[in-house]
């Protein structure tokens, strides 16, 4: 009999008479109790996001092939989407809120100007000579650089070099699409506006100022050079030899808040031979190996992130990263859903 006041077994849909169910359907009504435990499971959410590893080399080969098969005029953005099988490949999701794409631009090509409601970033994987023009600011693309194209900012990609350029796109497209707010607009092209001064943000602790007035732009810094992020990590590691988690967050240098509103971006250094366990937190995460290689363990799965490999890990899951080199540090780029979870009040770290 009932003594805890809790109801262990809830009624199923099949327990209801068919004529009653038909009448509910006719009135666009649904009983909650057969689905209550599915939408509010005990203690840990159900997650479609599966731990998924995308090795770079086979992806690169297929992307280079796409360059032969599909001219830029037929693609606009020549991207292979890193789709999480847990969501279904057709959904083009890495996690609930994150989209990942690997984009190829060949010498001389132009991916024309547009803007859209989803926020995007680019993490440059290989090649020199490409640039992204963001609201008139020309951002050169080198390996490891992070370039923001936040919601509503015009952007186009061009390439003056002589080798293919490849970068990782991270967008909050699945979330913005889910809330029925995803759309784009086009312009023929943008003009370069020089001297926007954003480069001055790359010097720690100082912000560009004009007659004692700081920038009022929503996105004052658009390009985060890898050389600066790496130097920051190396100096933290040297200064704090006992600190296990050597990490920086890509921020808006005027506000100190996350660089974008929905997804968070970080760089992480593993010391030579280091094993680092990141606790289970509510947001899903993406790891991309910028330099070196790392063994990744997520619950009962283990794989190696070689240079330029990418993986996605569901939320509420601990991740162990081990630097495979005993002599060199390893560097990872991390994207997650923390800003979204914090704004919604659902952010959690599980001990
Ligand atoms: O480069 O603007 O991977 O609009 C998906 C949508 C890249 C881009 C993507 C985009 C872009």
Q: Which helix (H) or strand (E) holds 281?
A: strand 280-281
Q: What parts of the chain have a pLDDT lower than 50?
A: none
Q: For atom 6 of ligand 1, which residue has the closest CA?
A: 77
pLDDT value, residue 351: 80
How far is Cα 200 from Cα 208, in angstroms, rounded to an integer?
6
CA of 148 to the centre of ligand 1 (A): 12
Closest by CA to 275, choosing from 243, 323, 331, 333, is 323
For atom 8 of ligand 1, the residue with the nearest CA is: 77
In the prediction, which pLDDT does 61 show?
98
Report how far residue 32's alpha carbon sits from residue 104's, in angstroms, rounded to the nearest whole number: 47
Place of tokens 């490891």: 144
Rounded CA gap, 149 and 171, in Å? 9
User: For residue 338, how far is its CA from the centre of ligand 1 (angstroms)?
Assistant: 22
pLDDT of residue 135: 94
Task: Tell me which residue has its CA closest to atom 10 in ligand 1.
Answer: 77
Rounded to whole angstroms, the Cα distance separating 105 from 85 reads: 26
Give the pLDDT confidence of 216-271 residue by residue, as tens digits.
999 999 999 999 999 999 999 999 999 999 999 999 999 999 999 999 999 999 99
C-beta atoms surrounding 334 within 10 Å: 20
Distance 155 CA to ligand 1 centre (A): 9
Question: CA gyration radius for the chain?
Answer: 23
User: Locate tokens 């297929």: which residue?
Assistant: 62
Q: Do residues 118 and 260 lie in contact, with contact meaning Cβ atoms separated by under 8 Å?
A: no
Ligand 1: residue of 82, 83, 101, 125 to mutate (most ligand atoms within 8 A of CB) is 101
Q: What is the pTM of this model?
A: 0.96
Q: Which domains does the chain have, with CATH numbers?
A: 52-350 (2.60.120.10)
How far does residue 169's CA lie from ligand 1's centre (Å)? 7
Residues contacting ligand 1 via CB (< 6 Å): 77, 79, 101, 103, 111, 116, 120, 155, 169, 171
- Distance between CA atoms of residues 278 and 349, nearest Å: 10
Query: Which residue, 242, 296, 293, 316, is CA-closest to 42?
Result: 316
């Amino acid at each position: 009999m009932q003594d805890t006041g809790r109801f262990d077994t809830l009624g199923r849909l099949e327990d209801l008479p068919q004529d009653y169910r038909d009448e509910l359907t006719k009135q666009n009504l649904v009983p909650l109790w057969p689905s209550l435990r599915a939408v509010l499971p005990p203690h840990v959410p159900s997650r479609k996001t599966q731990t998924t590893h995308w090795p770079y080399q086979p992806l690169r080969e297929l992307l280079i092939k796409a360059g032969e098969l599909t001219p830029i005029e037929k693609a606009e953005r020549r991207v292979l989407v890193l789709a999480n099988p847990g969501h279904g490949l057709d959904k083009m999701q890495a996690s609930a809120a994150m989209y990942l794409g690997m984009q190829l631009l060949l010498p001389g090509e132009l991916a024309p100007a547009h803007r859209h409601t989803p926020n995007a970033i680019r993490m440059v994987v290989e090649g020199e000579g490409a640039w992204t023009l963001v609201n008139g600011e020309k951002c050169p693309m080198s390996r490891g650089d992070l370039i923001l194209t936040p919601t509503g900012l015009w952007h186009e990609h061009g390439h003056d070099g002589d080798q293919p350029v490849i970068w990782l796109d991270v967008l909050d497209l699945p979330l913005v699409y889910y809330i029925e707010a995803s759309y784009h607009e086009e312009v023929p092209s943008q003009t370069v506006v020089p001297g926007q001064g954003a480069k001055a943000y790359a010097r720690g602790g100082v912000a560009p100022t004009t007659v004692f007035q700081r920038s009022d732009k929503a996105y004052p810094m658009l390009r985060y050079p890898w050389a600066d992020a790496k130097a920051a990590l190396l100096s933290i590691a040297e200064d704090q030899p006992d600190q296990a988690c050597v990490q920086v967050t890509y921020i808006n240098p005027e506000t100190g808040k996350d660089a974008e509103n929905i997804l968070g971006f970080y760089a992480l250094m593993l010391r030579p031979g280091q094993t680092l366990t990141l606790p289970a937190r509510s947001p899903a995460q993406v790891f991309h190996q910028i330099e070196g290689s790392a063994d990744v363990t997520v619950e009962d799965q283990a794989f190696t992130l070689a240079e330029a490999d990418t993986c996605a890990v569901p939320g509420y899951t601990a991740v162990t990263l081990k630097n495979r080199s005993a002599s060199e540090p390893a560097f990872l780029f991390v994207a997650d859903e923390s800003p979204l979870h914090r704004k919604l009040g659902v952010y959690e770290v599980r001990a």
